[in-house]
Chains A and B, each alone.
Chain A
């Protein structure tokens, strides 16, 4: 019964002169998302609105599902088209529509007409009044409430007449591509995919870097990260995933530095490498899934120690989140099940029993001196031998 969707967007409505850029980006993202749906669609912008029209038969649920993954959409209204065959027919269509969508009639309603085609014989006020009367006659259980109606039935008079009342919530945020690009440090855990998703929601395009340490981490651990990136890419579009072999660097640190500082020093090198790749990929920042105090390497002291090596901004959208709150989002974006698969990642393989929780920067810096002989060569080699995987849904 639905032939098109009216796309509502909240924040991009208020971006002044840049508004058209945001709208164009949103249209582009909608078109991209709809490629995954069965059927053909046209996306058009008219009168400051975006409509998705189905040109062929389509799978309603699948299409709504895909639209719900487009950042920038605040609501999706499924629209019924009615041929303009006189006001009487319109009244019949409205009665049928209410019956189809609201089996239970004990509701208040309001008609909100909008006359885009000015030569229609009735004006908006008249349409509201007349249709309201028709609905009340048809369904005596219903009553009018112009302030807080249960059903706000929109009637838009165009070439066709559009009826819609439901608003399916969208993900909100801003269209990907309007906010530059950032490099996500993606591990196999629960947090980093959520962090990437949250930043992407603000319109940021995402690239990712993953550190693996064969033979200490397995091919399946890498596959898991690819799978996670794929889940996130349902929202963000294609992700360039840089896979860095970190084994030699890690073993070298193991040989030269105190073991309780291993994780911190390792993470400092990860940040350095990530920043390097981020610059090459024209990213404007790094993203991590860190949250204060979650593990030894995420205390305020440890974060300061890992932060110090970067000049690029590091975005940590989960910094004040509890684990449960992160898990909730990961379930919503469907990364949780994959995240909890039991493969070791390179942060845990040599984890000391009692890693430092309050690293002293001076001491860390001093111990990093132990690495001066080969570390640059090893880092260069790791970066040069990166494997690039383009992940998309």
Chain B
């Protein structure tokens, strides 16, 4: 049995999306900037996609900027804002549990002379609004807070933060990394007073290498790529037509039955949590209730190294990730897990299960069963 529970790393592409991208790559392969029919045809796909996505997040079509994915969206939001607003202020705010696609541009900006405040989080991985309020200053140009944490699934009070930021300093831009939240929650930037929102397609059963940034009209942000002037000069480079159309279709599909899908996913998540929580030495990280995302479960297993557990599960056909997949390249302990106060000896003993709409009840039962059998066996063999 193959059980793919690493959907926060990436997801299986919907068949319909794969078919559409194939058709565009092989038949409607024109350059949207070309003047002839093939170009017009390609441009139509881009326009339709823009419209679809704009409707889903309830923004104006002009405010959708296509990018190569979450990392690029985050980079434009952070570096583009810093470049455009450095005369007004050089202070930025973010949290300690952001994805590296936010933390690393922040570190870069610090090297460039900007000042960054990192908000702490509580045990469940949530920031406190009081901390945010205290951090905002007259020279704060940007606040960047993720919607859903990729490692533990904790959700941030985005709407409240948006209102607070605009009350404290109306000039401050608000960026939200919604790579894990989009497709799982209804996110409306206008209502939540978000100026920029990062989204990636491959986390919602779309293709890799494509994403978008909602960029509020009027927000002062510089491009970070220069070239042929596509997308009104904000993001040069020939549009990834197949990716763009595929992303729009995937987004449409995940939002079609969102409520019932999420209800089902919460059910499966709770089943997994209940199934494993009675195993001795298993600790659930983050927020287990509805305060957390439906698709992410983070477990620490005392006395079992995560890498070993991961490969042991793999032998049974179960694919999970150790901490966050993006941090699997570097053996340092996860900053997120540290920030929520996971004890030192459990940092290296934490694995993440992440579900999708394809996940079934049988798969979860199989996984719980495997964990119950494996953990005591693996715990027996350790380094002394």
Contacts and interface: CB of A to CB of B under 8 A. Distances in A.
Interface stretch (B31-39, B126-134, B139-147, B306-314): B306-314
A352 interface: yes
Interface residues of A, number: 16
A352 B309 CA distance: 20
Contacts of B307: 218, 344
A350 B308 contact: no
Interface string A329-364: 000000000000010100001111100000000000
Contact of B314 (A215, A216, A254, A353): A215
Contact of B381 (A214, A219, A251, A353): A251
Contacts of B384: 259, 350, 352-353
Interface string A203-219: 00000000000111111
A283 to B, nearest CB: 31
Contacts of A352: 383-384
Contacts of A219: 311
A262 to B, nearest CB: 9
Contact of A214 (B309, B315, B331, B382): B315
Contacts of A351: 383
Q: Is the interface of A mostly helix, strand, loop or mixed?
A: loop
Nearest to A344: B307
A350 B311 contact: no
Interface in B308-360: 308-315, 331
Contacts of B312: 215
B383 A349 contact: yes
Contacts of A216: 308, 311, 381
A72 B331 CA distance: 42
Residues of B in contact with A, size category: 10 to 19
B314 to A, nearest CB: 7
Contacts, number: 33
Nearest to A355: B384
A215 B311 contact: yes
Given A218-B307, A344-B307, A350 B383 contact: yes
B189 to A, nearest CB: 39
A350 B315 contact: no
A2 B220 CA distance: 60
A350 B309 CA distance: 15
Nearest to B314: A215
A63 to B, nearest CB: 36
A353 B331 CA distance: 20
Contacts of B309: 215
Given A215-B308, A218-B307, A350 B381 contact: yes
Nearest to A215: B311
B110 to A, nearest CB: 26
A330 to B, nearest CB: 21
13 contacts: A215-B309, A215-B312, A215-B314, A215-B315, A217-B311, A218-B311, A251-B381, A259-B384, A349-B308, A350-B381, A351-B383, A352-B383, A352-B384
Interface of B: 307-315, 331, 381-384
Given A215-B313, A215-B314, A259-B384, 5 more contacts: A215-B309, A215-B312, A342-B331, A349-B308, A351-B383
Closest 3 CB pairs of A and B: A215-B311, A215-B312, A259-B384
